[in-house]
Structure 1
């Protein structure tokens, strides 16, 4: 009797294992690596939902290569080392074919050695500081010349003469501001024209810093704030600007990390007239954008859910991945990476995004002015899409570098002066 019972258990286990194996062969797993808790959840939760919507939509079309897509969602909880741990879990244990994730550069930097070691693929959907091009990362957010530089150019046209560069204390704001400082000095500005300040993630007491900005702006020259403040620290920052009577007409703020999602649920009245620079706004007038917004509202069952730039970057990256997998006829990382270069898909503003050999995409640039309804009125845009400059022309150690992942070069930091792969030396 006991032997019979043992045989039944073994048979059940065997059937279960076969069923699991069959399921694994019938699906393609996709990793979703975004903070659903902690200081960055305010921004990243929406990107998780975006990937799930895209997977759902693709499955209704029949999936990819005849297989259904299955999302594997993890929560790195705004904990930068945990991003690496979760990425390793997604690639090694869950066997995902690609990861869509990260927001901050510090989280991307944490994941980078993992995806390179395990030969994974990461789609990174947020603006960043540049100075990087990895074989295993596809950057669908903006490089500095696709956001920060055009934003400064817009302010220059408005007659701005003094610059307050204010950011969260981590790699993206520090490197972006290093580039902006060099760019401004190339335009004739000096140290006395530039004010720089950094604060920790989640910073809430802005009284003294805003007072310093206010004082800096009283020198009789038009002053602007260039903000690389990330996450939920933006809410008290803008509140303090209002508390101290700083209006957009006096000292405009142009932000690189404040979009429609961050404005949801706060009183935008004191923010009206301040600016943001992105490659997409929900207010873009285009049929593809209207369709995307309609699908988003239907998927979330919430007409009040807004769209934003990193969502569009996620949308573009996902569609590029699908197209590359179908082109390669496999989810093999090496084949998909090669297939991705040169892939073009529609963006949401009426043009196309193309994946370039440096693993960055072409993007239009928009300057938007905050309205009292939490949306942006587009006040300026580039005449065409902009090719990303992954290595800045304004930093001495970078200006001679390019990235080209096509064979035979296959290099992320090729020095055009020395003819060698490996950087500035």
Structure 2
């Protein structure tokens, strides 16, 4: 090779190497975070808004300088309401995309699907939805409610004179681990209050179930035996035909109140809520709570939805899992700043005791040992505009009990996160 050609070759190689180094440096200047929510399938009705809320929160954090001087870069995947695909996508996020943290999942079956992957690879998952408890992983931080922060107080409320003095309970849920375990806990709780098995009915439907005519007719028959409340753990788009059938058959809240654990403002957007006024939902946040932090949160979300031209932006709403997503991302960012690192072990340690002024109007604290948020409990009544009016709430946030005292043997469980729990 001639000297001039050789010099050109070396120069080209050096340029390519420099470009590669530049790209590597540029990539290292961002912190990748994974967004793992179903954007298609039966759970898209609930999870799509969590993806969008995560993107808004990341955008806001970046506008304030990012985390440890680096911008956050969202990596969005769609596990498509397919539970094995959740595990595949989580492995992809951790091993190929090299994300520092993942915000995702809604159903417990999706969380159970990804849990072994996060524990194997020492990834970090923030899970933003109420669930059945009976789990405490060192690789998961739970920003939704445990049963003592939602299910138990809700049933106590409908049993109270203020809540209607229910004596019979129709437990209706989607057929998977969250409703079945929650109802196992609730059945034991009801037994402890003197409610007999003959006054408890338990019915499950598959994901995507659409025909609730027979079930609602059976609820009406069951309610003839005494003052009845329906405890609903129906998830996903099945809630739309269920609530429409309640209206079709004229089952009003004054006759048989339904208290739902997985229905919020987002799920009610596509329903005429006038016939549903008075039915209940139990959460830890509602869009209607009136405080300055929430006013800004709601205004920011509506402006973001409009700016990004999100579907239904003119009727954009916030809900509990969206707030829990927002809180979780901010808590992770605070912990990474405290640790001066996004290393999972260092961030995990820094998360213990983190607090955040939440849109709920309460200062929420990440428990120092059990990886769950201390959360308030709120019972809301459906209004004719699809919002909720808070009719009852706790005075202070409650510490989560991931291991329910209503399941035998849980008193021997450790009160700290252990792999395989």
TM above 0.5, yes or no, is: yes
Number of corresponding residues: 408
2:386, 2:156 → 1: CA distance? 24
Counterpart residue number, 2:279: 274
1:143 and 2:146 are equivalent in the alignment: yes
Matches within 5 A, 1:3-402: 10=13, 13-157=16-160, 158-219=164-225, 221-301=226-306, 302-356=313-367, 357-402=369-414
1:63, 1:152 → 2: CA distance? 42
> For each residue in 1:244-290, what CA deviation from the matched residue of structure 2 results, as whole angstroms up to 9, or x when unmatched?
22111000000000000001122112211100000000000111000
> For each residue in 1:99-127, what CA deviation from the matched residue of structure 2 results, as whole angstroms up to 9, or x when unmatched?
00000000000010000000010000000
2:11, 2:378 → 1: CA distance? 65
Conserved? CA contact 1:390–1:402, under 8 Å: no
How many Å apart are 1:391 and its aligned residue? 0.1
2:399, 2:412 → 1: CA distance? 17
Conserved? CA contact 2:240–2:270, under 8 Å: no
Q: For residue 49 of structure 1, give the secondary structure of its aligned residue in structure 2.
A: helix
How many Å apart are 1:397 and its aligned residue? 2.6
1:105, 1:169 → 2: CA distance? 11
How many Å apart are 1:403 and its aligned residue? 2.3
Distance of aligned partners of 1:7 and 1:154 in 2 relative to their CA distance in 1, 3 Å threshold? same
How many Å apart are 1:179 and its aligned residue? 0.2
Conserved? CA contact 1:162–1:193, under 8 Å: yes
More off after superposition, 19-28 vs 224-233: 19-28
1:386, 1:295 → 2: CA distance? 28
Relative contact order (C-alpha < 8 Å, sep 6+): which is higher? 2
> For each residue in 1:395-414, what CA deviation from the matched residue of structure 2 results, as whole angstroms up to 9, or x when unmatched?
10323324224xxxxx47xx
2:19, 2:41 → 1: CA distance? 37
> For each residue in 1:191-237, what CA deviation from the matched residue of structure 2 results, as whole angstroms up to 9, or x when unmatched?
10100000000001111111111110011x11010000000000111
Q: Unpaired segments of 5 or more residues in structure 2?
A: 307-312
Normalised by the length of structure 1, the TM-score is: 0.93
Normalised by the length of structure 2, the TM-score is: 0.94
1:305, 1:34 → 2: CA distance? 19
Q: Unpaired segments of 5 or more residues in structure 1?
A: 406-410, 413-421
Moved over 4 A (4+): 1-13
> For each residue in 1:363-418, what CA deviation from the matched residue of structure 2 results, as whole angstroms up to 9, or x when unmatched?
0010000001000011111121111000001110323324224xxxxx47xxxxxx
Conserved? CA contact 1:224–1:251, under 8 Å: yes
